[in-house]
Amino acid sequence: MLISKNTLPTTEKITLVHSGDDYFSRLEQLISEAQSELHIQIYLFENDATGKKIIHALQEAANRQVTIYLLLDGFGSLSLPLEIINKLKQNGINFRYFSPLFSANSFYLGRRLHQKVVVADAKVALIGGINIADKYHGTKNEKPWLDYAVLINGKIAAPLQELCKAIYCKEKKIQRKKILPAFQPQQEALIRILQNDWLNRKNEISNAYIKSIRNAKEEITIVGSYFLPGRKLTNALKKASQNKVRIRLILSGVSDLPMTRRATCYFYTKLLGYNIELYEWNQSVLHGKAAVVDSIWTTIGSFNLNNLSSYGSVEMNIGIDSAIFSKMYQNHLNEIILQCQRITPESLKTTDTILSKIINGLSYYSTRAIEIIMTYLPYRRFNN
């Protein structure tokens, strides 16, 4: 797999980060070099070898008197042992669950903290789709799940840290503020923190995807781990294809959610009918959520192209308007595509049996129903 270290030589320095050693070595370095304040907000934190290593790094940072705020999702990180949580608190680490499942005051079934963001000293931030667990780091026997993040050094980390603290402390007014983009005219690079929290009236990631796809002139490449787009995005892709834009989707050949993958497969015939190129990644689980449009605009983060991310979860992406970064990342995705299996109308005919079509159809409508329930319940609770 191509591992690029290309970065933008700007004040707002940005670096593409890959799952595996690349991500976790940077995360450990970020924690070890933190001097005053550290925020970690993440969906999944497991008590495996990778998780224990990060916990140890956090404890050492706390011993250096670094103020640490650790916010984990109440469902995604439910398996974290209570004894570990108590030990973190005893070390002076501020710990809280976002929407605990077993709290009568905060039962938001579909409203999850799905963003993966780390901010240190209001100077450096790590944003992406990578959780803290062995499967994202990889083992001797298994490759890491394919995923990405972006490391940012610069002024934009300060308002991001303020946002993270507001989310941890439940300060609604600050949570609803937008973070202004950082612009570097020398490199013509515009960096945006994009948020999606529909219940707090933030639809920045959804809107950025729709706008970028509608304005595409030549090529769109999307990495979609749990790809089940809604009507607006589907129509935008269809329109772009009609405008002769080349569209390539990198999708899951291997998934940790088989029913969701089946639901995506049900969508294949329609996508191929729009002349969209489909590629399945089979070398490991695909967990990445990213896109490049016209080798000019890139987005990487936690946002899945489905209704759950659009209307239920709290999500964060980085949006980068930069030909330098986008071309570098597009080159990497081109390498990934070469390692994928292409799905064509001809190949689909050989694999699509009557039974598989029935299973895919049932998976599609079941997944859609689950998404509706999961997004409707938090909406009802939030507005009551």
pLDDT value, residue 116 = 98
Q: Which of 199, 200, 154, 147 is nearest to 180 (CA)?
A: 154
Residue 301: which residues within 8 A CB-CB, separation 6 or more?
115, 116, 127, 128, 129, 194, 205, 289, 290, 315, 316, 317, 318
pLDDT value, residue 286 = 97
Report the chain's mean pLDDT, rounded to a whole number. 90
Write down the domain spans for the chain.
13-180, 189-383
Find out whether 310 and 242 touch, Cβ atoms under 8 Å: no
The full DSSP string for 37-86 is: EEEEEES-B-SSHHHHHHHHHHHHHHHTT-EEEEEEETTTTTTS-HHHHH
Q: Which residue has the tokens 């590629």?
A: 279
Percent of the chain with pLDDT over 90: 74
pLDDT at 13 over 90: no
- The CATH-assigned architecture of domain 189-383 is 2-Layer Sandwich (3.30)
DSSP letter at 99 equals S
CATH classification for the domain delimited by 13-180, as one of 3.40.50.410, 3.30.870.10, 3.90.800.10, 3.40.50.300: 3.30.870.10
Q: Which of 96, 100, 44, 127 is nearest to 315 (CA)?
A: 127
What's this model's pTM, rounded to 2 decimal places?
A: 0.91
At 122, the pLDDT band (50, 70, 90 cuts) reads very high
Distance of alpha carbon 192 from alpha carbon 205, whole angstroms: 10
At 90, the pLDDT band (50, 70, 90 cuts) reads very high
Q: Which of 184, 138, 129 is nearest to 14 (CA)?
A: 184
Distance of alpha carbon 223 from alpha carbon 317, whole angstroms: 13
**pLDDT per position as a tens digit, 328-350:** 999 999 999 999 999 999 998 88
DSSP letter at 286 equals B
Using a 10 angstrom Cβ sphere, with 0-12 exposed, 13-18 middle and 19 or more buried, the burial of residue 301 is buried
Domains 13-180 and 189-383 share a fold: yes
pLDDT value, residue 187 = 52
**pLDDT per position as a tens digit, 233-288:** 999 999 999 999 999 999 999 999 999 999 999 999 999 999 999 999 999 999 99
Find out whether 146 and 171 touch, Cβ atoms under 8 Å: no
Q: Which residue has the tokens 């690079």?
A: 189
Q: Which residue has the tokens 């490449």?
A: 221
Q: Two tokens at 76?
A: 């995604």
Q: How far is CA 36 from the centre of its chain?
A: 27
Find out whether 61 and 31 touch, Cβ atoms under 8 Å: yes
pLDDT value, residue 3 = 37
pLDDT at 380 over 80: no
pLDDT value, residue 184 = 58
pLDDT value, residue 8 = 40
**pLDDT per position as a tens digit, 127-142:** 999 999 999 999 888 9
More confident of the two residues 68 and 370:
68
More confident of the two residues 144 and 2:
144
Q: Is 282 helix (H, G, I), strand (E, B) or coil?
A: coil
**pLDDT per position as a tens digit, 185-195:** 545 679 999 99
pLDDT at 93 over 80: yes
Residue 136: which residues within 8 A CB-CB, separation 6 or more?
19, 20, 23, 24, 50, 130, 144, 145, 147, 287
Find out whether 75 and 101 touch, Cβ atoms under 8 Å: yes
Least-confidence region, from 21-30, 110-119, 183-192, 341-350: 183-192
Distance of alpha carbon 88 from alpha carbon 107, whole angstroms: 25
Find out whether 192 and 145 touch, Cβ atoms under 8 Å: no
pLDDT value, residue 253 = 95
pLDDT at 231 over 60: yes
User: What is the crossing angle of helices 354-383 and 258-266, to 10°?
Assistant: 110
At 372, the pLDDT band (50, 70, 90 cuts) reads confident
pLDDT at 381 over 70: no
